[in-house]
Amino acid sequence: AQSVTQLDSQVPVFEEAPVELRCNYSSSVSVYLFWYVQYPNQGLQLLLKYLSGSTLVKGINGFEAEFNKSQTSFHLRKPSVHISDTAEYFCAVSASNNDMRFGAGTRLTVKP
């Protein structure tokens, strides 16, 4: 089965600074990759997904991620963060509809 490792449990950053949230995965088959965001006391919302095609994926709220097959990574980036980006971010990998695996999450805190 596939697995996901989010390399940072917490990322503090100042407002308007760039940010990168790191995600590595392992799988013996081709996978689909996702980033979800969870605001306090809410469910998960899809930020972006990679299914096929261009390795640079753009999502909502100015986020983007790059699929790197050779490094088995799918890092999430934003060039300039806002206070409102403070949330928990989850990377997920899926090889089929039946089996999506989530990372442990990265808590992004944006400070003024």
Partner 1 sequence: NAGVTQTPKFRVLKTGQSMTLLCAQDMNHEYMYWYRQDPGMGLRLIHYSVGEGTTAKGEVPDGYNVSRLKKQNFLLGLESAAPSQTSVYFCASSFSNEQFFGPGTRLTVL
The contact pattern for partner 1, residues 83-102, with x = CB under 8 A and - = no contact, is -------x---x--xxxx-x
Q: DSSP string spanning 16-64?
A: T--EEE-EEEE-SS--EEEEEEE-TTS-EEEEEEE-SS-SEEE-GGG-E
Please select the residue that binds partner 1; options are 44, 59, 61, 86, rule is CB under 8 A.
Answer: 44
DSSP 79: S
Whichever of 15 and 32 has its CB closer to partner 1, that residue is: 32
| Contact flag: residue 63 with partner 1 (CB under 8 A) | no
Cβ at position 35, least distance to partner 1 in Å: 12
The answer to whether 12 touches 111, Cβ cutoff 8 Å, is: yes
Cβ at position 14, least distance to partner 1 in Å: 25
Pairing status of strand 106-111 against strand 10-14: parallel
**Which residue type sits at 44?**
L
Residues making contact with partner 1 (CB under 8 A): 4, 9, 32, 34, 36, 41-46, 49, 51, 90, 94, 97-100, 102-105
